[in-house]
Amino acid sequence: MLSIGRVMADLQVTSRQFLRSRVGVFFSLIFPIVIMLIFGAIFSGGNGAVTAYVQDNDNAGGIPTQTSAAFVSALNSTGVVVLAPVPPGTNFTQFLVSHSSSDGIVIPAGFETRFRAGEAVNVSVYGSPASQTSAIVSGVATQVVNQFNLYRAGGSAVIKVASLTLKSSGAKYIDFLIPGLVGFSILTAPMFSLVNISSQYKRDKLFKQLSLTPLTRGEWLLSKVIWYIIITIAAFILMTLVGENAFGAHIALSLYILPFLVVGPFLFVSLGMLVGTASNSPESAAIVGQLITFPMMFLSGTFFPISIMPTWLQTVAHVFPLFYVVEGLTNVLTYGNVGPATIDLGITLIIAVAVFSAAVRLFKWRED
């Protein structure tokens, strides 16, 4: 019979070991924050907006024409790109190269006159095919050109490009990073710790010793799961606070996050336990643990969205249980998208139950 008293007694010992050793505290609470500060600083510079160089060659006596000024202003108002003006008459290509950029827009001379006359006129968009920022600049330019064409045709926009507007007000890199790092914490804290303690306790015969008390294996494992749920929730709160205050992250807080903060640690406590007990020594357990943890850590969308990875690698990512945790957390935290998150949660739960059963089967108190 499961005894809550024994689970609580073991939970107290577990929490003391964790808090007093400090290693666990560092890796589960402080380390993710350090990563957030570093990655956040790297990628969130300039609000995450893309710089586009703009040369307005349509001017009269150095003053931009009304239409070209309106075009630049429209580009600016999208909020997606930060405009950097290039003096008229400068060699634009050379200017881009000397500023290590490939993204730019050039408004030709005679833009206003031709626009008013209804004659065809080309706005040149510079970019590199491989670059993501070029795609964004090109998208913004096309959007503004369409608005101008629509205006010229005397129509009003029936269909508006909502995606660009949404992007400007919503998801920045930090908004992807926070669910990713919560996932990172869900993975690493229980995984490293359980691999470590289960292999060490086995070597030091601490399990054997515990088996001489009324504590059961299930109770022992349960107290570890409860503890890492507590740690995960603490890490989540900490990351949300730092993300919002230091980087202005937008987190869609909802109770729907909770199941992930419960099922996630349950999964990785079990996986850590499985690796630890299946190994012959703490050393081999540590190696196997890292072989599993590191690819999963980088390829599951923790530090960057997996959408930037090649398609084949995105497919590979689907084998990692953490992928579903991070995808689910992103769905909830960044998009408030409960439907797809439910599927992620379901998959996570199924994997968790399977891993837990395997861990409990392999995990022995005593020997034959």
Partner 1 sequence: MPSVVVDSLRKSYGEIRAVDGVSFSVEDGEIFSLLGPNGAGKTTTIEILEGLRAKDGGEVKVLGLDPWKSGYALHRKMGIIPQGFRFFDYSTPREAVSYYAKLFGVKADVDRILKEVILEDAASLYYNKLSGGQRQKLGLALSLVNSPQLVVLDEPTTGLDPQARRAVWNVIRELKKEDRSVILTTHYLEEAEILADRVAIMNHGRIISAGTTEEILEKEGSDERLEVKAAESLADYLKKETKLKVEYSNGVVSVLLERPHDAMVALSQIEQSGIEWKNLRTREDTLEDVFVRMVGGSPTEAGEVV
Residues found near partner 1 in the complex (CB under 8 A): 3, 5-6, 8-10, 12-13, 16-17, 20-21, 204-206, 208-209, 211-215, 366-368
Name which of 198, 9, 49 is nearest 132 in CA terms: 49
CB of 268 to partner 1, least distance (A): 22
CB of 188 to partner 1, least distance (A): 21
Give the burial class of 87: count Cβ atoms within 10 A of its Cβ; 0-12 exposed, 13-18 middle, 19 or more buried. exposed
Name which of 248, 237, 245, 246 is nearest 181 in CA terms: 237
CB of 364 to partner 1, least distance (A): 11
CB of 25 to partner 1, least distance (A): 12
- Please say which residue, 8 or 30, places its beta carbon nearer to partner 1: 8
CB of 358 to partner 1, least distance (A): 23
- Please say which residue, 66 or 209, places its beta carbon nearer to partner 1: 209
- Cα(366)–Cα(158) distance, rounded to whole angstroms? 73
- Please say which residue, 197 or 275, places its beta carbon nearer to partner 1: 197
- Cα(73)–Cα(54) distance, rounded to whole angstroms? 11
- Please say which residue, 119 or 367, places its beta carbon nearer to partner 1: 367
8 A C-beta contact, residue 313 and residue 301: no
8 A C-beta contact, residue 82 and residue 46: yes
- Please say which residue, 134 or 223, places its beta carbon nearer to partner 1: 223
Q: Which helix (H) or strand (E) holds 244?
A: helix 217-247
Token readout for 147 is: 């608005």
* Sign of the CA dihedral with 62 first, then 68, 71, and 75 last: negative
